[in-house]
A = this chain, B = another copy of it.
């Protein structure tokens, strides 16, 4: 039930509606825990029923009303408890890796375009992270004082940056390997 905890963290950082949470999950916290609006609305309902969060109807002009959620005391308690529980180190799920191994039983060259497409997606994400870092953490208005929330957001973002850089290097290695196995000018390897 990590989505529940991700929502608690996000609502502690700033209260918001289901829709707003879905937007945040498309950026920021969602880089490390993706979720669709369906999931979010469903879980918000359950969490409100369990008393973890409070809802407040907010009338708006020029747009539909919204339900703004904020963390209640039991929600803070639940998060704190979760933080003190150990979790299992993640097992990665890398569909592309399965494809690469599968390419041995098909045409390796046919995968090159697909890998290049992934490379581009990761390059874009890296550029996006770096822009966010410049904007939020190294700008002139970046406070010098030790702010736990900021520091922790920054270290998580550094993790995202390191991940994308590593992935780009690896995908270059993959492309080089695929090209070696299926040289464009010579015949295929026996």
**Which residues of A come within 8 Å of B, CB atoms?**
2, 5-6, 8-9, 12-13, 29-34, 76, 79-80, 82-84, 86-87, 89-106, 108, 110-111, 114, 117-118, 121-122, 146, 148-149, 151-156, 158-159, 162-163, 165-166, 169-170, 173-174, 177, 180-181, 189-190
- CB < 8 Å: which of B2, B106, B166 contacts A163? B166
Q: Which residues of B contact A111 (CB under 8 A)?
A: 83
Contact across chains for B93 and A79 when beta carbons are under 8 A apart: no
Q: Shortest Cβ distance from A130 into chain B, in angstroms?
A: 16
Closest 10 CB pairs of A and B: A32-B97, A104-B149, A89-B121, A34-B91, A166-B166, A32-B94, A155-B177, A9-B102, A146-B189, A159-B170
- Which chain B residue shows the least CB distance to A121? B89
Contact across chains for B34 and A101 when beta carbons are under 8 A apart: no
- Which chain B residue shows the least CB distance to A84? B110
The main secondary structure of chain A at its interface with chain B is helix
Q: Which residues of B contact A163 (CB under 8 A)?
A: 92, 166, 170
Q: Which residues of B contact A89 (CB under 8 A)?
A: 96, 117-118, 121-122
A87 and B95 alpha carbons, distance in the complex (Å) = 8
- Which chain B residue shows the least CB distance to A170? B159
Contact across chains for B33 and A94 when beta carbons are under 8 A apart: yes
Contact across chains for B100 and A155 when beta carbons are under 8 A apart: yes
A155 and B102 alpha carbons, distance in the complex (Å) = 13
